[in-house]
Amino acid sequence: MIRVVLDTNVVVSGLLSPSGPPGRIVDLVTHELIQLIYSDDILGEYADVLHRPQLKLSKSLVDVFLADVRRRDMIVASSPWPVEVPAPTDAVFLEVAAAGDAVLITGNLKHYPASIRLGVEVLTPRAYVDRFDLGLSA
């Protein structure tokens, strides 16, 4: 099974707009067709961001998504990232992707320049969907 780490922006976009590439990826995670790799820090960020009132996501949708992640997906321990990351709070996504042998999917490639990836594959949602010929139908 393909392992992925989802930057928070992908989860937000996927839940807000289920028909686009981020939505397809969230759907694949929800249907256990790809495995989401995460840490406590990542899950905490998901919960914090997804519950923000300005996103207008239903509490039940968010709670079900987070419960599914906790129940089905893989939590990993990681080591601190050895190089400086443009947005320091994003280092955890590289750490977990490296520890879980996963692809990092993000809508913010500028936060993960090639020089800091240290072998972690980083893709946009569109590039991930296109590469694995996942299509956009459920």
Token pair of 75 as six digits: 């939590």
Alpha-carbon span 135 to 97, nearest angstrom: 24
Whole-number percent of the chain with pLDDT over 90: 91
Asked: is 3-131 a CATH 2.60.40.10 domain? The reply is: no
pLDDT digits (tens, 9 = 90+) for 26-77: 999 999 999 999 999 999 999 999 999 999 999 999 999 999 999 988 999 9
The domain limits of the chain are 3-131
Q: For the residues 116-136, what does the mean pLDDT come to?
A: 88
Sheet of 35-38, strand order: 74-75, 35-38, 3-6, 103-105, 122-123
| 79: enclosing H helix or E strand | none
Token pair of 105 as six digits: 């999917």
- The pLDDT mean for the chain works out to 93
Confidence of residue 137 (pLDDT cuts 50, 70, 90): very low
Alpha-carbon span 33 to 47, nearest angstrom: 22
Report if pTM > 0.85: yes
